């Protein structure tokens, strides 16, 4: 049997830690790095099968645990267009990783090849990268062993942000075609972004210095590298990179980064926030972005994924109007149940755009956004992007402009479709998008806050339960269908509050449930979250 001996020989070097059941979740396999060596090896086997199944197209693997502490790590698979792994294959990944012995592993590898009509002699290619976690080094070695054992062509891109790896997968698979996504290199990524940024800015002035908190993760060195590609005689972009210490692993995501800012609803203590200055935070693998700012009197103010999403939808909607394409292109916004209700109202009532709600996890949002010609999707935590359909891009490029203003709008839309990462949420690309929009509108962060909407008071709590799998949801996770009666009780408490909304669901990444509540005041939102928590405990 093909590869049987080589897998048997190399899998011995990568023993599973007994007593654990692994599941390919929203973030792939993510856990303490000590448990991941053999998991990563096995994911390598699966990725090579996936590549062979897809006629040798390159599959990506990213080794990262994003905003988790430095001791964790994770491994996830990227499909050929740079999108998340197809859901049916998540199950196969779970099966293969949970093989109980080396023998069973080899057997299942062959069984999967047989079931999915995969020719194990055909070519396969896997490309991979990792974030700055020290454990990444040994995990990619485990991965390489699996790829060598299965005679899979491999490219090790070493340290990358997650969105850079997604870019490289798409660039590799589209090279030499009319849909080419850019040069197949990290440099190609920087060049593409820098060029599109300048074209989208159209000479507009950026409003003051931006301090970028990089969570002491991979975003720091990569952002600094990107800035070298912006020639200072063409754009004055005054960026100060902070929290960019990647040499001390223990400081990764510690008291800084997008997840800290969003969940703690405050600025990182270091560097000490200066009122009126502009700040943004990336997470540990640079796929989430949150802006913030502190007002001398009212204090901290955060611009989360909902605000970035509505800003992007409003700007792109205006450009599409100005380009005379409003009747031709369907623009929509995709959110999850965690989106602040005020943002949903703003988008539907003020921007007059449709909003879809999907279950948590970017793959769901991404998929839903593909229904539109222009689909804007963001999770409230700052992960998101804008997708342009081939039809929309063709319209931007081929509509004959009737006026200089229309031409300008069309050109800016083309530039945005290059600037915005079409594969996955990308903090560096999203940051450049926000800067372009603020420059065009000549808005400070204060303008952005006051010209849009006011968040409804809300509270998100994590609730430890005996068995989170008991909690089953419907209606994009906004209602519980099991345990019986729980939703009726939640409805009863919600009805006691004004302008209130609440829901409970099992986390996909932690062994707990989450309860989210919105109400007319902060106190009521907290009280409602507490009462719903008591229902589900
Ligand atoms: P779970 O643990 O399923 O709530 C969390 C985030 C998601 C998503 C994933 C993957 C919240 C409430 N949930 O999912 O938005 O980003 O992690 O990282 O923020
Ligand atoms: Zn991340």
CATH assignment of the domain containing 478: 3.30.310.50
Question: Hey, whose CA ends up nearest to atom 12 of ligand 1?
Answer: 338
| Domain co-membership, 124 together with 233 | no
Instruction: Please report, in range form, the residues annotated as the binding site for substrate.
Output: 379-381, 505-509, 514
Q: Tens digits of per-residue pLDDT, 463-509?
A: 999 999 999 999 999 999 999 999 999 999 999 999 999 999 999 88
| Domain termination residue (choose one: 302, 336, 361) | 302
Per-residue pLDDT for 1 more than 90? no
* Same-domain status, 264 and 316: no
ipTM of the complex, rounded to two decimals: 0.97
Which domain, by its residues, includes 30?
4-159
Distance of alpha carbon 136 from alpha carbon 127, whole angstroms:
15
Residue where one domain finishes, among candidates 410, 434, 450: 450
pLDDT tens across 11-56, in order? 999 999 999 999 999 899 999 999 999 999 999 999 999 999 999 9
* Per-residue confidence (pLDDT) for residue 511, from 0 to 100: 83
In a domain, 181, yes or no: no
CA–centroid distance, residue 449 to ligand 2 (Å): 25
Q: Is the residue at 198 inside a domain?
A: yes
Residues 430 and 362: their CA atoms lie apart, in Å, by 15
- To the question of pTM greater than 0.95 for the whole model, the response is yes
Kindly state whether residues 397 and 374 are assigned to the same domain: yes
Residue 182 lies in a domain: no
Domain membership of residue 40 (yes or no) is yes
- Mark whether 368 and 317 lie in a shared domain: yes
Which of 10, 66, 135, 417 is the catalytic position?
Answer: 66
Whether 519 and 446 map to the same domain: the answer is no
- To which residue do tokens 């693997």 refer? 61
Does residue 184 lie within any of the structural domains? no
Same domain, 134 and 220: no
Percentage of residues in the chain with pLDDT exceeding 90? Answer: 97
**Dihedral (C-alpha) 170, 171, 175, 178: value to the nearest 10 degrees?**
70
Q: How far is the CA of 217 from the centre of ligand 2 (A)?
A: 10
The maximal CA–CA distance of the chain, rounded, in angstroms, is 71
Ligand 1 in contact with 69 (CB < 6 A)? no
Is 514 touching ligand 1 by the criterion CB < 6 Å? Answer: yes
Q: Which ligand is nearest to the CA of 381?
A: 1
DSSP-based three-state secondary structure for 326: coil
Span 182-186, average pLDDT: 98
Residues 434-446 pLDDT 10s: 999 999 999 999 9
Structure confidence by residue, pLDDT tens digits, 297-350:
989 999 999 999 999 999 999 999 999 999 999 999 999 999 999 999 999 999
Q: CA distances (Å), 225 to each of 113, 235, 252, 424, in order?
A: 42, 16, 19, 20
378 lines ligand 1 (CB under 6 A): no
- Place 416 in a pLDDT band, splitting at 50, 70 and 90: very high
Q: Give the residue, by CA position, lying nearest to ligand 1 atom 4.
A: 507
pLDDT at 232: 80
Whether ligand 1 lies within 6 angstroms of the CB of 62 is answered as no
Report if residue 174 sits inside a domain.
Answer: no
Residues 37 and 143 in one domain: yes
- What pLDDT does 349 receive? 98
Q: Which atom of ligand 1 is nearest to the CA of 505?
A: 4
Point out the ligand 1 atom lying closest to the alpha carbon of residue 361. Answer: 8
Q: Which of 248, 279, 302 is the last residue of a domain?
A: 302
What is the CATH number for 360? 3.40.120.10
Total domains in the fold of the chain: 4
Take atom 11 of ligand 1 and give the residue whose Cα is closest. Answer: 381
Asked if the model's pLDDT at residue 447 lies above 90, the reply is: yes
Judge if the beta carbon of residue 306 lies within 6 A of ligand 1. Answer: no
Q: Is the pLDDT of residue 231 over 90?
A: no
User: Does residue 259 form part of some domain?
Assistant: yes
Confidence of residue 268 (pLDDT cuts 50, 70, 90): very high
Whether residue 57 is found in the same domain as residue 109: yes
In terms of domains, do 424 and 350 share one? yes
**Using an 8 Å Cβ cutoff, are 3 and 120 in contact?**
yes
Based on the fold, state whether residues 14 and 142 are members of the same structural domain: yes
Indicate if 403 belongs to the active site.
no
Task: Specify whether 205 is located in the same domain as 286.
Answer: yes
Asked if the structure places residue 364 within a domain, the reply is yes
- Write down the pLDDT at residue 280: 98
pLDDT of residue 395: 98
The answer to whether 516 and 459 have CB atoms below 8 angstroms apart is yes
Binding-site annotation: residue ranges for Mg(2+): 66, 283, 285, 287
**Do residues 193 and 240 share a domain?**
yes
> pLDDT tens-digit profile of 98-153?
999 999 999 999 999 999 999 999 999 999 999 999 999 999 999 999 999 999 99
CA of 41 from ligand 1 middle (Å) equals 26
């Amino acid at each position: 049997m093909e590869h049987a001996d080589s897998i048997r020989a190399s899998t011995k070097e990568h023993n599973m830690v007994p007593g654990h059941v692994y599941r390919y979740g929203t973030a792939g396999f993510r856990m303490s790095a000590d448990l991941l060596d053999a998991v990563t090896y096995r994911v390598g086997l699966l990725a090579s099968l996936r590549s062979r199944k897809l006629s040798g197209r390159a599959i990506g693997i990213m080794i990262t645990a994003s905003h988790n502490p430095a001791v964790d790590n994770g491994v996830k698979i990227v499909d050929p267009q740079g999108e998340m792994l197809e859901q049916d294959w998540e199950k196969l990944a779970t099966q293969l990783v949970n093989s109980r012995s080396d023998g069973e592993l080899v057997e299942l590898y062959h069984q999967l090849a047989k079931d999915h009509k995969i020719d194990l002699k055909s070519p396969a290619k896997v490309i991979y990268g990792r974030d700055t976690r020290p454990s990444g080094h040994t995990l990619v070695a485990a991965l390489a062993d699996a790829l060598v054992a299965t005679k899979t062509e491999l490219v090790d891109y070493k340290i990358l942000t997650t969105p850079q790896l997604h870019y490289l997968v798409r660039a590799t698979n589209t090279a030499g075609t009319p849909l080419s996504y850019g040069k197949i290199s990290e440099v190609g990524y920087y060049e593409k972004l820098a060029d599109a940024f300048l074209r989208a800015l159209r000479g507009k002035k950026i409003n003051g210095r931006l301090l970028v908190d990089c969570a002491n993760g991979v975003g720091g060195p990569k952002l600094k590298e990107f800035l070298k590609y912006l020639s200072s005689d063409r754009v004055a972009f005054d960026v100060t990179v902070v929290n960019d210490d990647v040499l001390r692993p223990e400081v990764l995501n510690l008291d800084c980064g997008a997840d800290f800012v969003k969940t703690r609803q405050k600025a990182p203590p270091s560097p000490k926030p200066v009122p009126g200055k502009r700040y943004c935070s990336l997470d540990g693998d640079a796929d989430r972005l949150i802006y913030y700012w502190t007002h001398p009197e009212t204090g901290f103010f955060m611009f989360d994924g909902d605000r970035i999403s509505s800003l992007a939808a409003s700007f792109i909607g205006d450009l599409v109007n100005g380009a005379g394409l409003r009747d031709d292109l369907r623009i929509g916004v995709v959110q999850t149940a965690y989106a602040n209700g005020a943002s949903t109202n703003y988008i539907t009532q003020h921007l007059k755009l449709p909003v879809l709600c999907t279950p948590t996890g970017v793959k769901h949002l991404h998929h839903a956004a593909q229904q539109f010609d222009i689909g804007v999707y963001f999770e409230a935590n700052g992960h998101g992007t804008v997708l342009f359909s081939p039809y929309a891009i063709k319209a931007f490029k081929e509509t004959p402009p009737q006026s200089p203003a229309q031409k300008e709008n069309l050109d800016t839309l083309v530039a945005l479709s290059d600037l915005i990462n079409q594969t996955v949420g990308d903090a560096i690309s999203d940051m450049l998008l926000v800067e372009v929009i603020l420059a065009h509108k000549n808005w400070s962060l204060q303008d952005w806050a006051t010209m849009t909407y006011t968040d409804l008071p809300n509270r998100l709590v994590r609730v430890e339960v005996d068995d989170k799998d008991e909690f089953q949801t419907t209606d994009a996770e906004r209602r519980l269908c099991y345990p019986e009666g729980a939703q009726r009780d939640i409805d009863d408490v919600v009805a006691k509050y004004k302008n209130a909304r609440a829901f409970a669901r099992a986390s996909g990444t932690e062994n707990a449930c989450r309860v989210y509540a919105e109400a007319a005041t902060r106190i009521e939102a907290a009280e409602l979250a507490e009462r719903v928590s008591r229902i589900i405990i």
